[in-house]
Structure 1
Amino acid sequence: MIYRNGRGHFLLVQPTYKDGWDLPSGYVEPGESPLAAARREVVEELGTDLPVTGLLLVDWAPHPDEGDKVLFVFDGGVLSPDARARIAPDGREIARADFHDPAALDELTPARLARRIRTALQAGPAGAGHYAEHGVVAMPMS
């Protein structure tokens, strides 16, 4: 999920189980759609139900240790001050949730995630989205 704050920053979470920052995200459970998984993960990681307004990116992401994945990056739009105030990471899985400037991506995330986020940010918030391979646009979805 990508959420924005209206000042050009987007939300990242700091998981307790690995180094660095990540998008609010998770795996699809058996019988669950990618959209339902995105909604569930937002509630689990951020402690509140937030909007899902569109699809920014479908990314084929080969990983040397985990195999090939197909990742969906959904858009949550610009959050109101009230919605931002409701964000409450549980402290067990997610230590923090903060809005960051896209210019800091390379310092905060692995290169593969930074590519994916940049590509998703290029598609939105009102864009038609992209199909990417390893974070690089292979074709627009329009």
Structure 2
Amino acid sequence: MTANEMPPVATPRVAAGALFFDNEGRVLLVRPSYKNHWDIPGGYVEPGESPRAACLREVQEELGLTVTIGPLLVVDWAPAEHEGDKLLFIFDAGSLTVEQERDIRFLDGELAEWSYVAMEALEQHGPRRLALRIRTAVAARDDPSSRYAEHGIAV
């Protein structure tokens, strides 16, 4: 079979993010300056980079923190209109110390602020699909086992 005879294959955009928690079980959300809603710290994986490495890099670039990333919580197949197929990886980043919270700096200018948000308030900060994805990740953390999701819902 030649390259011209090969069937088309998916080439999804891949992103990775970190879930940080406070002692009340709220998740850390960030408000990107280029979006109309809040999100979790993270971003797109670069060529040749693993999702875990991208997560660490993005946390460093966005928050100015060097952290330890824990286990994978969820992989979400989440195609988006105007962006095509997407695979989103969310990792457990545990809790930040008071010192780490004080050290948060928006080094790359992509973020405007951060806040811990309760599970029941997620839809007030972002799209429903993000809230579903976060809740699926939290369920995986509580279980503990990773999940596969589509559009934020565990399958």
Same fold (TM over 0.5): yes
CA RMSD of aligned residues (A): 1.4
Alignment check: 8 A CA contact 2:73 2:91 kept: yes
Alignment check: 8 A CA contact 1:89 1:97 kept: no
Query: 1:1-142 maps to which residues of 2 (within 5 A)?
Result: 1-90=18-107, 92-124=109-141, 127-138=144-155
2 CA distance for matches of 1:49 and 1:91?
15
How far is the alpha carbon of 1:18 from its aligned partner?
1.1
Alignment check: 8 A CA contact 1:77 1:125 kept: no
Gapped regions of structure 2 (runs ≥ 5): 1-17
Deviates more, 1:67-76 or 1:117-126: 117-126
TM-score (norm. length: structure 2): 0.84
1 CA distance for matches of 2:75 and 2:45?
14
Amino acid at match of 1:131: Y
Alignment check: 8 A CA contact 1:46 1:97 kept: no
Gapped regions of structure 1 (runs ≥ 5): none
**CA 1:126–1:137: 2 relative to 1, 3 Å:** closer
1 CA distance for matches of 2:68 and 2:99?
13
Structure 1 residue matching 2:154: 3-state secondary structure: strand
Aligned residues: 138
**CA 1:58–1:33: 2 relative to 1, 3 Å:** same
How far is the alpha carbon of 1:126 from its aligned partner?
6.1
Identical-residue share of aligned pairs (%): 47
Compare CA radii of gyration and give the structure with the larger one. 2
TM-score (norm. length: structure 1): 0.91
